[in-house]
Amino acid sequence: MDDLLRLDDKLNPDQRLIRDTVSSFVADRVLPHVGDWFEEAVFPARDLAPALGSLGLLGMHLTGYGCAGTDAVSYGVACRELEAGDSGLRSFVSVQGSLAMFPIWKYGSDEQKEEWLPRMAAGEAIGCFGLTEPDHGSDPAGMRTYAKKDGTDWVLNGSKMWITNGSIADVAVVWAQTDDGVRGFVVPTSTPGFSAPEIHKKLSLRASVTSSLYFDDVRLPASAVLPGVTGLRGPLSCLSEARYGIVWGVVGAARACLEAAVDYAKTRVQFSKPIGSFQLTQEKLAWMYVGTAQAGLTALHLGELKDAGRLEPRQISFGKLANVRAALDIARQARTILGGNGITLEYPVIRHMNNLESVLTYEGTQEIHTLVLGEALTGMAAYR
């Protein structure tokens, strides 16, 4: 499908190479199988992780320790192409790089970095990020998971929920209350007292592993603490990194739905002519393209701000709110164009539509991002 606004003309040669490389990987390794993965509720992380690592996609925006050290726009382009395959694939890469590797890279000790980052960048070790709890999602300050000092050790108790990669992870970055405030802990999942049962019966993000985490007197050495940060600033900075990837990723999901709708409209014949020749269908497609292109413009602008060191969390909230809602609207419109075929896994639309229902909620609900913008406009925090 033509890029009518020529947005990708603004990409440099390295960014275009990343686009084409990731797009080819998704076409070869993901698209032929992802419908079955979605239907069967599986994600072959152990098979895909080394391949993703060999392409430099895990922690690709970080430097050193085997990470690619790309710019923010390159990372965004990769997220876009990954989510054009499936939100679960982009979520895996996002959680690995932005939520598990980033806090170790940013706030970890030299020993923590050396132990985990090279293996995670290569896809040899999988990470997860434990912040959300069963009773505390949008308000992480109320978390009940607690780490208490016992001599030089820490003893961790509590639970987390809706954790991507949780039951397949080798290491969990867990955020817990302490007597000194919220701290991050690097927890090998083989530690006694740690368990991560998978959450089943999902109708969204089925090609993704989602788990609960339980900590029952998990004893950790002093070296498990992330030394570089105390307070919610730590986990919130990680979420900003991941949300930035979502801003780009959902453009890929929207584009995939639009392309499916355009192809279908050209070939589906009703009343003796293709439905793409009817004005109502063309109006839907035109607005779907406008929404996709506007989301792409937003993502590119935020990427340029991030590369310039000028990106603010409230700007990421704007992008996450606007782009996810646009992508979900586009997926729903595409479903109407495909009619009954739109609810089958023969086409990607219902899979993307269901996935986007989760993306709308995770890493900040649309309500929270709305209130972030409301505070930016009025100076008054409505959620406090």
Selecting among 81, 115, 133, 363, the annotated active-site residue is 363
Query: Which helix (H) or strand (E) covers residue 111, if one does?
Result: helix 110-121
**In the CATH scheme, what is the code of domain 234-378?**
1.20.140.10
Element holding 119 (H helix, E strand):
helix 110-121
Phi, psi at residue 251, to the nearest 5°?
A: -65, -35
Reduced DSSP (H G I as helix, E B as strand, rest coil) percent helix, strand, coil of the chain, to 5: 55, 15, 30
Mark 119-136 as b/e (b = at least 16 C-beta within 10 Å): bbbbbebbbbbbbbbeeb
284's CB contacts (< 8 A; 6+ apart) are 261, 333, 336, 337
CATH topology of domain 127-230: Butyryl-CoA Dehydrogenase, subunit A; domain 2 (2.40.110)
**pLDDT tens track, the chain, 384 positions:** 788 899 999 999 999 999 999 999 999 999 999 999 999 999 999 999 999 999 999 999 999 999 999 999 999 999 999 999 999 999 999 999 999 999 999 999 999 999 999 999 999 999 999 999 998 878 888 899 999 999 999 999 999 999 999 999 999 999 999 999 999 999 999 999 999 999 999 999 999 999 999 999 999 999 999 999 999 999 999 999 999 999 999 999 999 999 999 999 999 999 999 999 999 999 999 999 999 999 999 999 999 999 999 999 999 999 999 999 999 999 999 999 999 999 999 999 999 999 999 999 998 899 999 999 999 999 999 977
- In order of 1, 29, 82, 256, the CA distances from 23 in angstroms are 14, 10, 7, 12
Angle at alpha carbon of residue 105, lines to 99 and 106, rounded to 5°: 85
The two tokens of residue 101 are: 């590797």
Q: Which residue has the tokens 């307070």?
A: 231
Known active-site residue 81? no
Cα distances (Å, whole numbers) of residue 37 to 46, 89, 199, 338, 346: 14, 11, 16, 22, 13
Residues pairing with 218 in the sheet: 156
Say how far apart CA 285 and CA 57 lie, in whole Å. 32
Per-domain residue ranges of the chain? 7-122, 127-230, 234-378
Q: Which CATH superfamily is domain 7-122 in?
A: Acyl-CoA dehydrogenase/oxidase, N-terminal domain (1.10.540.10)
Q: What pTM value is reported for the model?
A: 0.95
